[in-house]
Amino acid sequence: GQNIDQPTEMTATEGAIVQINCTYQTSGFNGLFWYQQHAGEAPTFLSYNVLDGLEEKGRFSSFLSRSKGYSYLLLKELQMKDSASYLCAVTDSNYQLIWGAGTKLIIKP
């Protein structure tokens, strides 16, 4: 079966750094997405990785290791507005997007 694992919830402090991990077992791999979803809102695109390595975009970076079936989202200089759920999703060999259950990130002052 296909499976994506993320921690259910994480807590971090404003101004700090947090890393949200995602491991996947899918039938094939054609890319990995990270989405952000604030409570009561729609998911919005954050990043895309298809090759191994780190993709940096401002305060957010995403890393991929295809051999390990592993990715992480790194959030620096945390702000209160970063409190949200972070969804990891993988495109499989049929080009279907398989979603993780999301990690709820709580930022404390």
Partner 1 sequence: DTAVSQTPKYLVTQMGNDKSIKCEQNLGHDTMYWYKQDSKKFLKIMFSYNNKELIINETVPNRFSPKSPDKAHLNLHINSLELGDSAVYFCASSQGTGDYNEQFFGPGTRLTVL
> Residue 99 and residue 76: Cα distance in Å, rounded?
24
Residue 23 in contact with partner 1, rule: CB under 8 A: no
Q: Which of residues 81-100 bind partner 1 (CB under 8 A)?
A: 85, 87, 91, 95-97, 99
In the complex with partner 1, the residue whose CB is nearer, 7 or 31, is 31
Residue 11 in contact with partner 1, rule: CB under 8 A: no
In the complex with partner 1, the residue whose CB is nearer, 21 or 37, is 37
